[in-house]
Amino acid sequence: MNLLASDVDSYAKELLPLVPGFSGWCEAAVCTPFTSLQAALQAFGGSGVGVGAQNMSEHESGAYTGEVSGSQLKDLGVQYVIVGHSERRGFYGETDETVNKKVLAAMELSLCPIICVGESLNQRETGVTNDIVAMQVKSALYGVKVDKSHPAVIAYEPIWAIGTGKTATPEDAQAVCREIRAVVRKILGAQIARGMPILYGGSMNDKNAFELLAQLDIDGGLIGGASLKPGSFAAIINAANQ
């Protein structure tokens, strides 16, 4: 919940010259508050930077005051939607079941869900990280049939590393992302598992991005605070292009 719609144009004008033409192979997107989506679509239109929302309703329409449906996002031209972020789970009571419903609703509309999974500090310290993450992935993908026209992304975001400045070591992050890919392989097959992007989302910044992104099963980042500064965000994008 940062920046205003009136900030988007100046943000885009500062960011885009730092990542000219997206000459590399990586993809990038900004996921803004609902109030800034229209401004972001205009500011980044034709640039190669996608636009996503930070949440959506599992319902298509109806008496759900304050909610925003996937079809409303799709109508705007939004391409991505973050689903199951730890703050949505922790502050607003979202469960594995509601996350799954949102994933299915997004994919039905060909919106690409960025599915967030991750463990708490207590869960990590008790040695159940892989069990927790595997359960979240299995629940999120229940009933999903992924193909090239219905992409999905999974973001590993250890809850203890979000907004704290703490970061999993590259080796620890790689181990969990490798486990995520193994779970996807069991559910959806090897070909889809190889092609599904897996992101790391625990305080990745311009200082640690290169080392994290060098790991075999870390395909990108779900960037929080570092994305608020165009220079830092551009440095992460450029690290992903190495």
- Measured CA to CA, the distance from residue 134 to residue 24 in angstroms comes to 32
The catalytic position among 87, 94, 157, 179 is: 157
157 is catalytic: yes
85 is catalytic: yes
- The closest alpha carbon to 233, from 31, 25, 56, 6, belongs to 31
- Measured CA to CA, the distance from residue 89 to residue 71 in angstroms comes to 23
The catalytic position among 58, 85, 87, 94 is: 85
Torsional class of 130: left (φ above 0), alpha (ψ -120 to 50), beta (otherwise): alpha
Distances (CA, A) of 70 to 67, 99, 148, 150: 10, 13, 19, 14
* Residues with catalytic roles: 85, 157
